[in-house]
Amino acid sequence: MDISSLLSTLGVDSAAVSGGELVVRSPIDGSFLGAVQASNAAVVAASIERAQAAHLKLREIPAPKRGELIRRFGDALRKHKAELGELVTIESGKVRQEGLGEIQEMIDICDFALGLSRQLYGLTIASERPQHRMMEQWHPLGPVAVITAFNFPVAVWAWNFALAVVCGDSVIWKPSEKTPITALSCQALFEQVLREHGGLPDHISQVVIGGRDIGQQLAAGPRLPLVSATGSCAMGRALAPVVAARFGRSLLELGGNNAMIVAPSADLELAVRAIVFSAVGTAGQRCTTLRRLIVHESMKDALLSRLCRAYAGIRIGSPLDADTLVGPLIDETAFKNFERALARAADGGGERVIGGERVREDTHPDAYYVRPAIVAMPEQNAVVREETFAPLLYALTYKDLDEAIQMHNGVTQGLASCIFTTDLREAELFLSARGSDCGIANVNIGPSGAEIGGAFGGEKATGGGRESGSDAWKIYMRRATNTINYGSTLPLAQGISFGD
């Protein structure tokens, strides 16, 4: 596939995507997209030095001025939304609407960060001592490493980047080895904005390319006070102890095993639409993808038959075609994992309701398209409790809501969750302390497709991190508590008298 004109519109130097050792292929048809230079350890070390130097300058620049830079970046994204969205589709395989949605998510977070740049508030706190004032300030933290996954190749970086920059932090980005070209494109766009803006330090943003070893180097890097990483639980488990050993902060957004409870009073029409979007969107490769359907036994047949009708009409094909809903899986490994999970589910007594076949193999032997599957399971066994990053939805039944909530929470991950009900008591119970144990809990909305305004992330094996909206910015800053004595005596806290 020829992406040269897209790249030149986005300002990417063609040399950056040719001649390197990392070959990038499109999941659409397996065709060659580019060969990118991987960064060795020396390059990464030099990037960390440069990021440190950039941070020292950036922290002196008033936050609203940093916000202005991000506003301009948002404008550049608006201008290039179509091209960047198309590149996301070509490199990650998500359908056009979702590719564009991802760029919109970047634009939205730039707007959010711009407003935030005037709202990095600390508190003023009543002091117990006379003629004293207590307050807190939020200071820039330092250079931040951002490690992202193929499935949201640009938006998740933007959530981190836009906030980090208004907070006064420089960023080193390690994109997925599967999607480095979109990362280089964002970098090229940002560099143009930085040049046009003028007067700001270089290296506010840098991209390093490579695999696990680079992730480990960033995690170990003592000059990176925060490592924000999105990916599998296994990745988080390898990374987090390395960051913790040097008392760094990590912001982890790891696996999910997101469920929907469908209660007897649910609006089934609404539920079906939500299930289709959240179970098959991005070919089941979102962290927030719906993977478990916990349906009241009285509703199972009605819901599954409606779902079968809806699934039968899903168009699978090239994500570049406007009417395609499901594009390819990212690669052969993803396909093998899908097949393996289906086989294990069958071994565990699962009954295939629909889907699961590979399609388009004859015309696209080097791409992996599958029909989204639904498997009815007799119980929540080991394979159901694992996250298979593919369009595979397990259906389970329940009798009473407490049992459903127990099943819902009975997995190690805790990202996104939802209930479909029109019963206020059920809805509120699900959202209460006794209900969903996830970072995201919704009513009559599927688990995926969150807006940027809320804090995004999950509990338990999902890693506990929160990024994007709400007060997620605080992790990119350090808090200093200040006490000022404007009197001429030195009263001690707790009423201590010490030698007077």
Report, as residue numbers or ranges, the catalytic residues: 253, 287
Q: Which is nearer to ligand UN1, 51 or 287 (CB)?
A: 287
Q: Which is nearer to ligand UN1, 151 or 250 (CB)?
A: 151
Instruction: Using the Cα atoms of residue 84, residue 88, residue 94 and residue 98 in order, give the sign of their dihedral.
Output: negative
Please, are residues 259 and 415 in contact by the beta-carbon 8 Å criterion? Answer: no
Neighbours of 486 (CB within 10 A): 8
Choice between 294 and 452, CB closer to ligand UN1: 452
Q: Give the distance, in angstroms, between the CA of residue 338 and the centroid of all CA atoms in the same chain.
A: 21
Interaction residues for ligand UN1, span 82-111 (CB under 6 A): 105
Cα separation of the two ends of the chain: 81
Judged by beta carbon, residue 303 or residue 450, the one nearer ligand UN1 is 450
Residues 6+ apart with CB under 8 A from 158: 105, 106, 109, 110, 186
Q: At what angle do helices 81-92 and 96-116 cross, to 10 degrees?
A: 120
User: Is 230 a binder of ligand UN1 (CB under 6 A)?
Assistant: yes
Cβ proximity to ligand UN1, 287 vs 326, nearer residue: 287
* Per-residue binder mask for ligand UN1 (CB under 6 A), 399-438, x = binder: ----------------------------------------
Which residues fall within 8 angstroms of residue 494, CB to CB, at 6 or more apart? Answer: none
Please report how close the Cβ of residue 91 comes to ligand UN1 at its closest, in angstroms.
Answer: 16
| Minimum CB distance to ligand UN1, residue 307 (Å) | 20
Do residues 470 and 456 lie in contact, with contact meaning Cβ atoms separated by under 8 Å? no
Indicate the DSSP class of residue 445. Answer: S
Q: How far is the CB of 101 from ligand UN1 (least distance, A)?
A: 8
Choices 34-42, 109-117, 178-186, 448-456; region in contact with ligand UN1 by CB under 6 A: 448-456
Q: What's the closest the beta carbon of residue 499 comes to ligand UN1, in angstroms?
A: 58
Nearest alpha-carbon partner for 215 in 188, 254, 176, 180:
176
Give the count of residues interacting with ligand UN1 (CB under 6 A): 11
Length of the chain: 500
Q: What does the per-residue mask of binding to ligand UN1 show for 178-217, with x meaning CB under 6 A?
A: ----------------------------------------
Contact pick of 151, 187, 250, 258 for ligand UN1 (by CB under 6 A)? 151
Residue 140 and residue 112 in contact, taking contact as beta carbons nearer than 8 Å: no
Least gap, CB of 139 to ligand UN1 (angstroms) = 29
Stretch that binds ligand UN1, among 82-90, 123-131, 426-434, 446-454 (CB under 6 A): 446-454
* Nearest distance in Å: CB 313, ligand UN1: 23
Site for ligand UN1 in 276-335 (CB under 6 A): 286-288
Using a 10 angstrom Cβ sphere, with 0-12 exposed, 13-18 middle and 19 or more buried, the burial of residue 494 is exposed
- In the complex, the smallest distance separating the C-beta of residue 288 from ligand UN1, rounded to whole angstroms, is 4
Decide if residue 449 touches ligand UN1 (CB under 6 A): yes
Distance in angstroms (rounded) separating the CA atoms of residues 188 and 176: 17
Residue 140 or residue 463: which is nearer to ligand UN1 going by CB?
463
Of 452, 473, 466, residue with least CA distance to 109? 452
Residue among 193, 450, 461, 477 that touches ligand UN1 (CB under 6 A): 450
- Contact with ligand UN1 (CB under 6 A): which of 12, 87, 141, 156? 156
The nearer residue to ligand UN1, 178 or 286, going by C-beta atoms, is 286
Q: Which helix (H) or strand (E) holds 481?
A: strand 477-485
Q: Tokens representing 440?
A: 């995201």
If the CB atoms of residues 85 and 350 are measured against ligand UN1, the closer one turns out to be 85
∠ CA 317-321-323, nearest 5°, is: 85
* Shortest Cβ 251–ligand UN1 spacing (Å): 13
Residues 107-146 that bind ligand UN1 (CB under 6 A): none
What does DSSP assign to residue 397?
E
> Is residue 75 within 8 Å of residue 301, measured between CB atoms?
no
Residue type for position 57: K
Per-residue contact track with ligand UN1, 50 to 89, x per CB under 6 A? ----------------------------------------
Separation of alpha carbons 89 and 32, rounded Å: 15
Q: Which residues of the chain form contacts with ligand UN1 (CB under 6 A)? A: 105, 151-152, 156, 230, 286-288, 448-450
